[in-house]
Every structure is written in structure tokens, then in C-alpha cells.
Structure 1
Amino acid sequence: MRLEMFDPAPIGVVLTEGPEHRLAYTNEIYRKTFGERPLGRTVREAFPDLAQSGYLDILDRVYATGTAEVLHDVPIDLDFPEPTDEGTRYFSFSFSHATTSDGRQGVLGVIGEVTEQVTGAERIRVLSEERRRALLRYRSLVSAGSQVVWVTGPKGGVTEPSPGWQRVTGQSWPEFRGDGWIDAVHPDDRAPVAEAWHRALTEVPPRFTHTYRLRLATGGYRHFAVEAAPVRDGDTVIEWVGTCTDVEQEWQESRREELLARAAAATADIMRLDEMLAALAGVIVPEIADNCTIYLLPQALHRLPGTALTAERVATAHRDGLPDLPPHREGHLESGSPLARAADGRHPVHAVFPPGSPPADLAPPGSEPWLAHGANSVVLFPVVVDGTTAALVTTSVCGDRTPLGATEIGLLRLLLGRTHTPLRNALEYQRTRQVALALQRSLLTDPPDVPDLGIAVRYRPSTSAAEVGGDWYDAFELRDGATALTIGDVSGHDLPAAVTMSQLRNMLRGLTLDRQEPTGTILRRLDVAVQTLYLECTATCVLARVERPAPGLFQLNYSVAGHPPPLLVAADGTARFLTEARSPLLGLVPRPDHAGATEPLPPGSTLLLYTDGLVERRGEDLTVGLERLRRHASNAVRLPLEAFCDRLLADVLTTVGDDDVAMVAVRVPEVPGDGHEDEARQE
């Protein structure tokens, strides 16, 4: 055997001689791999660190038996001449019996390093095992977790079953796979989520998020938050992995906070109750309901349960595309009707039914329609303040929208809680107004029946019904045969003003009956009493005496304290204001002095005393109102006295007034035979 032939071989070659296995030859690759090992030395001497490994025993067997042996992927730990980062290196060995050219016996070894192949295979095996275990962990996590985990292909379409999805939605794997998942999404959310998902598949953002409602296997819908991310291999998206998490509670809390914030913004700086209720109706629709109508119960304080209910509609709102309910402002609802039941029970009335088919007891026969067409549920919510149902709120949803339920009732309770303070104020105002009006009406008595003298009185409260006025009038006969007329107005529009008005009226009646004094003197004594007893009070007043200085003749003695002047209208329609006895209003001047004047009352003339509500208009000069009154009184003077008063109220108050109006009209008789009396009677 010529050993030089192995020098250029790409693998290591070694030849040992004799039973001691002395190194006889090594080629360049062998020396480069294992280092320079001296020839002539035994293998055990050259490789002492392999003496205990058992590898060298192979040389003995091959030398003794002549049978070749091969070892594959053998790990060798030596101090190699060229250290690497691999640590243990791997080799494959082939040993066979050999005879040299001079007849010596030995063992020929061929050695090839396979470290890269072994470590590469091991790496693949480890990665495969890790992937297998990761897949097992993933499947176990998906099966045991509370979240819904799903996997789609790079262009969408579910590719793997999801036990969580099936558990939540009830969809089987055949129903779920591909794009079948969209069928479990709420109909109103399908288009938005499909558009957002398509955009994500096209643009491939690092993270996709969305919130939508899923149909539950048990019925109904809940909000779920979706989070997904693309799985990449380099620059290529190979799949998408995502989760769906139940966020219904968080969504409801966020919704509640948002609605409260919107309600706060919508009702900020609103003082009027009807405006506040209208603003809240605009928040309720469309977030909570498709329709909302709010009624006030003006008779809430004195209505007995079980009696007819008067309900005034003050606010309404409906979702775009739905028809308005029939217009009405006030109606009477019989006992047992849905709204009356809600008011009497003081608890919400809630009903769910097929669209357009409410139960019979929610729509009594012959009643005006109050539910929107196609409604599938309704909540009648009583707003109870201090034990009294002060308002009723009706809400409904239509078509295939999710019916109203406990969640919506809770939201209504929160939103309408904002109205408790203004409603409480309104109820308190109603109580005060009822007392004041009762007091006021008790003092507005019928005029006395005086021979040859016509007297008519009128009282009209403010048409806005916003305040209780301090207006009063009075007419009574005196012991000397004269007729006393008074009219006045106490400052303020509340119960204290009405009480003070009644006290001043009665005080003036007592002072007038006590002594036969000039009207100015009586007003001065009243003024002193006002400044002594009512420190913060001011009032206007007219005190007049209609006297008969001679048979068939009438005259007027009068005093005016800060009040609009009396109007005298002659039988021929000539009208003028009596302005000679003017003085400051009561309670203003520390040492008052009220003037008096006397004015003849021509036959057939009409004297009119009135409060400022008849002539004053906001933003208008008083002279305009006085001239308007003078003109209308002149035109109506030929009417009978009662008709004259009604005509004035109808003509002068064509514009809604902001104040109460009181009137006292006196007509002296015509001179017999002048024709005016018959003419007036004919009209």
C-alpha cells in the first residue's frame, strides 16, 4: 500500500502498525483536525484523553479479527488545534485491517467530521419538538381559556376550529369556517366590521382592534373586543391570529359615562323644566330608544290614585326615518291605561312583544296611538319626586333593534335623575301657586249691586302661568252712600306677595270704612302702615269714591299712588286718562303725602281702573300700551258693561302677557231720553 496516495484526500486518514497500534501515517486533513501527533508513538500515548473512552478498543478488534468496523456521528471531546464555538465535535470512523507494501500488518482508519450535519439535524429536531409542544400548549390554552382565539389565512377566512367561539356563539365548525363567523355578528355591526377587517387584510397593520356585538348561544348579544396580529415569515404574512374578549360590562360603563356627559352638556345652563326635558329626550334618542315622549302631570299633587290622569306632553324625540306621533299637548288618560298604571304604581312598566303587536292592555280600545309603528318593546318610566309621580317618560324601540331591557331602564333612571331637583322645584311651585291662587281668588269677590250704577270686575292670571301676581281689586258701599273702588298691585310674584296683597287689601278696606276722609289721606295712612309693617314692600294703588253730589249726577274723588291712571270714556267714545291725583307708590317715600282730585262722571260714561298687566309689554314704551287701551276702550264703550270688559281683554291682550290683569269698570247711567241707552242695549 502506497500511503502517499492519501495525502490530498479531503478526509482524515491514519495508519497504525502492529498490535500496539503505533502511528505510522497521518495525512494533512487528519493533522489539521487532530493536531500534530508524533509518528512511532502508540495511539494511546498520542491520545491519552481518549484512553478511557472505549474508542481505541475498536483498533484491537479490527487488528485481531480482520473485520472492519464503522462508527457514525461519534462525539469527540479533545483539545483541538482550532477551537470552535460548537463545543463537542462529531465524527464518523471507518477502521479496516491493512498490510503495508513491506508486509507489515496494521489498521487503516478513515475519519470524516460530521459536526455540522449532526448539529443541524439536532437543531431541526429541537425546533420540531418545540413547535410540537407549542402547538399542544396553544390548543390546551384555547380549550381551557375564557377568551375566544381564532386563526385565519393571510387573506382572511377562518382556518382552524375555535372551541371558545363555538362555546360563546353556538356555531359549529362548518358554520364558523371561512367567512361564516360574520353570521354571528349583530346585523347592525356586520358592515362596519367587515369593512374594517378588509382594510386590515389589505394594509396589514401591526395590530387590528375592533368592538362588535356577538350573538350568544343562550340568546341575545354582548359586546366583544377583537385584537388580532399578522404572523409573518420574513416579509410574508402567513396567517392572522386573534382573540375576542367579552367587554360588555366595560362597554356599558363607558356608555353610561358618555350618556351622562352628553346629558350634562345638553342641560347645562338650562333653567326651564320643559327645555331640560326636551334636551334629555334628545339624548335618549337614538342612544337608548327610537322614540321618547315626556309628559308632565300638572294635577300630580291633588289627583287621587285610580282617577283620570291629565298628562301634558312637553317633549318628544324620534329617530330619523320614523314618523311623528299624533300631535297633542294635553290629554286625559283613564284609570287603568298604561300611563296611569305607571303613575299610580310608581314603578316602570316594561313590555317586549313582536314588532307592531303590543299587548292589548298597552293600547286600550279607542285610545289615541302613542306607540310608534313597528315598536317591539316599551318602557313607561315614572319620575317620582318625594313620593309623587311628577312626570312620565315613554320610550320604545322598533323593528329588529334589540328590545329595551333592564340595562336601558337603569340608564333611564340615571339620566332622569338629573330632573329631580327641577321637578321638585316645580312641585313646590305648584303647591305655593295653589295656595296663592286660592288666597287670591278668595279676595276677588263679586262687586256690590248699587242702584243706577253698573259695576263689572275681571281678573285674568298670567297666560304663561309662570308666576302668582299680587294684583287685587275691591268694590264696596260706604255708610255715606258712596261706592268705594280700589285696585292695586304688590311687588313680587310669589306666595309672600299674594299674602301681602291680601293684607293690604283688607287694611285699605278697613281704613276706608273707618272714617269719611279724602282718598289721599286714607292712602297716606295706608302708606305709613306699609312702611311700618312691611319694610321691604312696595305697592301701587288707586283709591276712588263714586259719589252723588245731586240727584242724577255722579262724581269721582280719587288718588293714585304709583299706579297707571284711571281711564274715563265718555258715552260718545271720547276717552282720556285721569292724571291730576298722581303720587309716588306706597312704601317709597319716608313722609308720604298723597294728593286727591275730583272728576265729574258724565252721563253714560265709563270709568276703568286696571293693573299694569293690561298695558305693559316687555320692550315696549308704556305710552304705547296706554294709547292702545284708550283706543280700544273708545271703540267698545257702546257695548253693555260686561261685554265692554270682555272686548277689552280680547282686543288689548291679543299678545300673550307676562303679568296678571285686574279690572274694575263702572258705568253711570245715561240721561233718560238721549237715545244712547237704547242704542247700547241694541248692540
Structure 2
Amino acid sequence: MSGAGERDGDGVSGLTFEVLEPAPVGIAVTLGHDHRLLYTNRGYRSLFGERPLGVPIREAFSDLVKKDYFLLFDQVFDTGEPIVVTDMPGDPTLLTESGQERFFTFSLSQTTFDDRPLADRRGVLVMCLEVTDQVGSAREIQHIADERRRILRRYESLVRVSAQIIWVTGPQGGVSEPSPGWERVTGQPWEEFRGEGWLHALHPDDRAEAAQSWQRALERVPDRWEHTYRLRTTEGGYRHFQVRAVPIKQDGRVIEWVGSCTDIEEQWQAQRRLRLLSRAAEAMANRTSVEEMLGALADVIVPELADGCGVHLVTDLAEGLAGETTLVVERVATAAGPGLPRMPRFSAQRLPSDARFVRAVRQARPFLETFPPGSPPPDLGPAGTRTWLELSHANSLAILPVSVNGTVAAVVTAATCGDRPPIGRAGIDLLRQIFEQAHDALQNVMHFQRTRQIAFALQHSLLADPPRVPGLLITARYRPSLAAAEVGGDWYDSFVLPDGATVLAIGDVAGHDLRAAVAMGQLRNMLRGMVVDRREPPGEILSRLNMATETLYGDETATCVLARIEPHDGGHRLNYAVAGHPPPLLVTYAGEGRFLTAGANPLLGVPYPREYVSAREPLPPGATLLLYTDGLVERPGENLDDGLARLSEHAGELARAPLEQFCDEVLSRMPVSGQDDIAMIALRMPGPG
């Protein structure tokens, strides 16, 4: 074995090789066409060990099995072209201490020795660098990349069978790649879908919440984002989709988001059904009146199933509705979605037999009518329904008769508005389930309701419909007590006298029983006779009625307002008297309300030696005169002045509403106790001009 100092015998300066000795790479030099090993530096020896000099490299490296490596020396020696071999694996005998395969990068180039004979001047310079660590790292990176591609392919395959839509966004959330699934389901092309355009395919009510939830995910970067929204489909309407997305990270930084959308409409409908049935059961708990129960159910229906809901009781007592020419219903509960007007709860209506509403009731079958937003057909429901449908831009109305013990006892109307899809058959079926679940509870309260209906019918038989008077509008309302199933003593009356004056009267006989109802009927008839018999001021007529009440009924007492609307100076004036009754309310066209107290007198049935007084009041154009009984303004534990102030406020707000709506809204807005009957009669003067 020759050392470094012995290389001078080869005719090469020792100083030349000494310069190469500390080089950070392995260096070897061969000489001649047989490639005798002339020199190896320290770095080369550390890689391959001490090798004998002066012998061909095939002998010096006889322990290496990679014979093709030596062919590279021949190629460089013959052509003079350098060769670089990268990441070349070493011989199996050249392993690391841990047994790992080693890798090298070689550079072979031709060199010339000027001090050698001409035939033996050429040789090969070898430079070598071990790259085992770099190759190992590269292989590890490649392995990770391959594994990620494998996982991605597996994930993509899983997504294809489990989701309908795949989408990709940039790190800031804007859609960055087309999604064939999205376009197939929604019909939204790439130009409209890209960026934030996907939001326009969502239901308008879901857009803000979805955008906020997505923005929070972009800011917080959770492991997975989940949300549910409604997507508009190519079939029309909306379906519920569950969206899931995961962030894709590189070096700890989000480079994109990958998400999927899965149709969950069937599961959502099933969950909603269970949720609504549970809410309906809770809403009916501890409800003692049919109005409260139906009102609670209406609040469950809106806004989950519809944007507006009304519940009507069928007050017509005929068992065979097919033979009837009209149907009487009373609206007792309403509900409306956010931003929509709410119909008054209390409104009794007599509907013609050819109305669609009546046909649905007679057939005891649900009925669904769809129409352009805000353009309902004219005969779709009771008075006020069409106006509400127009104002709310409704697009459909479902009518569901509710049967109790084989008889239609109530009718539910449910409307959808704007671009919300119609309630559909699935929604109607859910409505039916809600009320079928309530059947037993409704049966109990309906028994009481049927008794009330009898009292209601008897009461109406004792009351007269307001007359039609040219230039004047007159409307009356009567609502029995929620706490009693007997006829009461509240009454109203209106008729036209031979002298052209129009009479309005309202009164209340103490008690809620048959005796009070009989006394009420008799007093009303006596008053009619007294008014027609003589043209006396209202106060004088009430004086005579007081004497008759004291004489004929003993301890019975009653209250009354008697008013004459008389032509005067091209307009009208009010001549009135009040006997122990709440004062009349006069509301101007501008909405200013004032109670008329000048004609106040004691109640009827109490000894009073003096004449009852009368008072006159001009009735300005467009004014509304309202007579009412105390059930409208009295509440237990509350001062009567509070109820009167509330009535004046609500009536002022409704001063220009149609008179029918005026009465219904006043009755609905007042927080009545339900412990007393309510009677109302209102008169509207011709408007200004």
C-alpha cells in the first residue's frame, strides 16, 4: 500500500496532490487506458477505504460488483466528454452503520499530465460526493406525496359515491374551480357560480346565515366546516343540502378548501316533522279554550310551514253542509311571519256556497291553490283574506278542513309568500298530522264550543243586522264570553226612523244566563217601540225605559247608549244619551279619538227622579262613531281608564281602515279578558269630499 508521499515516483508533483488532500469531496485520479489508480484524497478514502495505487481500478476496486461503473472510465478516456452520475446507489457492501443503502454523485472528466510520456499522458479525474441523506429525504418526500395522492384518490372516490356536488375554493373562500355537480343540480353556470356567486343559488332566507358561517370558518380554520342550507334546483323550488368542507394546508398555511354538498331533504323533512309535532304538543299543553289552543298551533305553523296562517271555527250548526246555501265561519286565530301584516283574529263571516273555501269544507278535503305572487283569485277565502294575500305577495293558499268526531269543526288556511315555494302536498300532510295529533284535546274543547255555538246562534237570533243607509256605513260585531256557554245580556240594535234619522243602540243586562238574555230581548224590544212611537230626545226615551225597567224587572239593572244620527246643515249630527254605559268613542278622519261624556246618566233600573239628559255632537266627514260594551275595555285588576285609553289609541290608528276591518282589528288588538261578552256597533260618515 503506497502512501501519499510515495506518489512522486509517478512523475507527479506531490505538491499538486497535497492541494487536493483537504478537499470536501472525494477525489481520485487514474492514468492510462487501463486506468491505473494514481491518487485518492482523504475524502475519497473515507468513503471507499484505502485502495492500492498503481494498479488498474478494476483490481483496486475488485470488491465492487457494479462492473458497468468501470465502463464510464473507458468512455471518458476515449471521447474526452465528461460524465456526471447523480444519486447512484453504492455497492451492497457499502452500507451505512445502520444498514442503510448509500448513494453517491460522481463526476468523471479527462485530465492530462504534461510531464508524462506522450502515450501515457491522459487520465481520468474522479470527484465523488455522498448524497445518501439527500436521497433519503427526497424519497421520504416522494413517499409522502405518493401517499397524499393515494389518500386524495381514495377521498375523491368516496366523495363520488357519497355526495352530489364537489367544489373547491381559494384560501380566501371564493370558488376557484368549476363544479359539474353544482351546475347539474342548480343550473348555475360557471360564470355565475365562481367567486361568491354560489350564494345566489341559496334560498334568500339562508344566504346571510350561510355567508356568516362560512366567513367564520375562513377566519378560524376549523378541521371541518359543516352547514345546512336550501339550494334552488333545476326542477324548481328548493331542497336542503348539507355542506362540508376541509382546509388543505401546506407548510401550515391554507392553500385551498375542498367541500361537498349532499341532498338531505328527506332526512330534513323527517326531522322537521318530529320537531313540529313535538312543538305542537307542547303548545297545546294547559290550554283551556279552543281559541288559545288553535292560536298556539298557528304559531307553530308560522314560519316553519307557511308565512301566514288563519284558523276558522265553523259556527254553522247544520250537520249536512251540502244542503246549505251559506256557511258561517269565525276566524279565531292568526299568525304571520316577520315583516308581514297580521290579520285580525276575530271576524265572523257568512260565505256563499260557490266559494272555494266552502267547497273544501263541504268535501272535508284539503285544497291547494297556487297563483302569481299578490294575485289571488277573488273567492279564495273569507273577507279580508284576499287583501292580506295581495299585500303580502302570497303565491299559494292551502285550505285544510279539520274534522272532530266526523264533523268539520275548524278550517286552517296556510299561505306562502314571495319566492317561497308553495306548501305542497307534503306540507299539507304535515298540517293534517299536527291537527290529528290534537284531536283528543280539540274534542274536549269542541264539546264546550258546540254549546257556545248554540248560545251564539240564539244570541244572533235576538240581534238585528244593521240596515243599509245611503251615505252611511254601519257594522256590528258580537263575541260571546270565552268562559261561559250561555247566552248573555249584551246587545246592539240599529234601524231607520220615518223622519230619516238613523238609530244606533247598544246595551248590557247584568248576568250571563238565560234570564239575562230574556231581559235583554225584552228591553231591546221596548226601546224599539219607544223610539218609533215618539220623536223625543234620546235622554227622555231612556228615562221612560228606566221607569219600565224598575217597574217590570225589580232588582235587574242594565246599561244603554241610545243615539240618533240626524241630517243637519248638509251633514249629520249625533243626538245621544248614555245610561250607565261606557261612553261612545268618536274618531275623526285624521285619527283623533274623543270619548263623548256630555250625555251621561245613571244606569237603568235604579230610581232616578230627574229626566235623563241628552247631548248633541257634530259628526265631521270621514268620522267613525263606535258604541261598545264593557267587555271590550275592562280587564281584572286594571283601571278602566287604561282600557279606554288603549281603545282610543287603536281606533285612532285604524281611522281610515275600511269599517269591517276597523271593527275586526279593534276586536283583535284589544287584550280582552274573555270573561265577558263583547258587542260593538260602528258607524262611518262619508269621507271628505
For the superposition of Structure 1 and Structure 2, which TM-score range results when normalised by the shorter chain?
0.5 to 0.7
- Counterpart check, 1:5 vs 2:16: yes
Equivalent residue for 1:259? Answer: 276
- Which of 383, 389, 393 aligns to 2:412? It is 393
Which of 362, 380, 388 aligns to 2:380? It is: 362
Cα distance between partner residues in 2 of 1:327 and 1:99:
115
Closer, same or farther: CA 108–214 of 1 in aligned 2, 3 Å? same
C-alpha displacement at 1:383, in angstroms? 1.0
Query: Which of residues 220, 229, 244 is equivalent to 2:261?
Result: 244
Contact 1:33 1:81 in 2 (8 A): no
DSSP-derived class of the 1:356 partner? coil
Q: How does 1:158-557 map to 2 (within 5 A)?
A: 158-299=175-316, 302-307=319-324, 308-325=326-343, 328-362=346-380, 368-371=383-386, 372-374=388-390, 375-425=394-444, 466=485
Query: By how many angstroms is 1:283 displaced?
Result: 1.5
2:354 alignment partner, SS class: coil
Local SS of the residue matching 1:165? helix
Structure 2 CA distance for partners of 1:39 and 1:159, relative to 1, 3 Å: same
Deviations 1:286-306 (A, max 9, x none): 322232221222446623424
Superposition TM-score, scaled by structure 1 size:
0.58
- The percentage of aligned residue pairs carrying the same residue is 45
| Alignment CA distance shift 1:434-1:397 (3 Å) | closer
Verify the 8 A CA contact 1:169 1:217 in the aligned structure 2: yes
Structure 2 residue aligned with 1:456: none
1:35 corresponds to which residue? 49
Per-residue deviation at 1:234? 3.3
The CA distance in 1 between the partners of 2:345 and 2:23, in whole Å, is 107
Deviation of residue 261 (structure 1)? 2.5
Cα contact 1:142–1:163 (8 A) shared by 2:
no
- 2:172 aligns to what SS in structure 1? coil
Work out whether residues 153 and 239 of structure 1, in 8 Å CA contact, stay in contact via their aligned partners in 2: yes
Question: Could you say what secondary structure the match of 2:68 adopts?
Answer: coil
Q: Which moved more, 1:301-310 or 1:37-46?
A: 37-46
User: Measured at CA, do residues 383 and 205 of structure 1 come closer, stay the same or move farther in structure 2, by a change above 3 Å?
Assistant: same
How far has the Cα of 1:331 moved from its partner? 2.9
Q: Distance in 1 between matches of 2:232 and 2:208?
A: 15
CA contact (8 A) 1:306 1:344 kept: no
**Which whole-Å CA distance do the structure 2 matches of 1:347 and 1:648 have between them?**
49
Tell me which moved more, 118-127 or 263-272.
Answer: 118-127
- Equivalents in 1 of 2:253, 2:481: separation in Å? 80
Shift in alpha-carbon separation, 1:9–1:356, aligned structure 2, 3 A: closer
Question: Is the alpha carbon distance of 1:122 and 1:304 closer, same or farther for their aligned partners in structure 2, counting shifts above 3 Å?
Answer: closer
Task: Specify the SS of the correspondent of 2:427.
Answer: helix
Pairs aligned (count):
471
Q: Residues 136-164 of structure 1: CA distance to partner in whole angstroms, max 9, x if unpaired?
A: 88888878873322222232322111112
Check the 8 A contact 1:2/1:101 in 2, yes or no: no
Matched letter for residue 344 of structure 1: R
How does 1:541-620 map onto structure 2 within 5 Å?
none
Instruction: String of CA shifts for 1:532-561, please: whole Å, max 9, x gaps.
Output: xxxxxxxxxxxxxxxxxxxxxxxxxxxxxx
| Contact in 1 for aligned 2:397/2:416 (Cα 8 Å) | yes
Give TM-score scaled by structure 2 length.
0.57
Q: Cα distance 1:100–1:26, how it changes in 2: closer, same or farther (>3 A)?
A: farther
Residue number among 127, 131, 138 corresponding to 1:111 in the alignment: 127
Counterpart residue number, 1:75: 89
Q: Secondary structure at the match of 1:362?
A: coil
* Alignment check: 8 A CA contact 2:402 2:409 kept: yes
Instruction: Give the aligned partner of residue 50 of structure 1.
Output: 64
Gaps of 5+ in 2: 1-11, 455-479, 488-511, 517-545, 560-603, 606-628, 632-673, 676-689
Distance 1:262 1:431, change over 3 A: closer
1:349 is displaced (CA, Å) by: 0.7
Structure 1 residues 646 and 278 mapped into 2: Cα distance closer, same or farther (>3 Å)?
Answer: farther
Residue aligned with 1:286, SS: coil
Distance 1:413-1:304 versus aligned 2 partners, 3 A rule: closer
SS of the equivalent of 1:33 reads helix
Q: Quote the Cα distance in structure 1 between the aligned partners of 2:32 and 2:100.
A: 35
Match of 1:91 in 2: 105
Q: Distance in 2 between matches of 1:2 and 1:434?
A: 130
Q: Could you tell me how far apart the structure 2 residues matched to 1:396 and 1:124 are?
A: 62
* SS class of match (2:280): helix
Q: 2: CA distance between counterparts of 1:26 and 1:154?
A: 55
Deviations along 1:648-671, whole A, 9 cap, x unmatched?
A: 79989x99999xxxxxxxxxxxxx
Structure 1 CA distance, aligned partners of 2:309 and 2:232? 27
Q: What is the distance in 1 between the residues matched to 2:416 and 2:555? A: 49
**Cα distance between partner residues in 2 of 1:355 and 1:413:** 25
SS in 2 for 1:331: strand
- Cα offset for 1:412? 0.9
Partner amino acid, structure 1, of 2:414: T
Letter in 2 for 1:338: R
* 1:32 Cα deviation from its structure 2 partner: 0.8
- Cα distance in 2 for partners of 1:612, 1:199 equals 65
Partner of 1:14: 28
Question: In the TM superposition, what is the alpha-carbon distance from 1:40 to its structure 2 partner?
Answer: 5.6
Question: How far apart in 2 are the matches of 1:61 and 1:321?
Answer: 90
SS at match of 2:396: strand
Please give the alpha-carbon distance, in whole angstroms, between the structure 1 residues aligned to 2:452 and 2:156: 74
Relative distance call for 1:119 and 1:101 in structure 2 (3 A) is: farther
Hey, what's the Cα distance between the residues in 2 that align with 1:423 and 1:132?
A: 63
Shift of 1:341: 1.0
Name the CA distance, whole Å, in 2 between partners of 1:66 and 1:350.
94
Q: Root-mean-square deviation (CA), in Å?
A: 4.7
Give the Å deviation of 1:321: 3.8
Change (3 A) 1:191 1:16: closer
Secondary structure of the equivalent of 1:48?
coil
Alpha-carbon distance between aligned partners in 1 of 2:343 and 2:213, rounded to the nearest angstrom: 37
Determine the structure 2 residue equivalent to 1:624.
none
Shift in CA distance, 3/86, structure 1 to aligned 2, threshold 3 Å: farther
Amino acid at match of 1:282: D
Q: What amino acid sits opposite 1:286 in the alignment?
A: P
Aligned to 1:156: 173
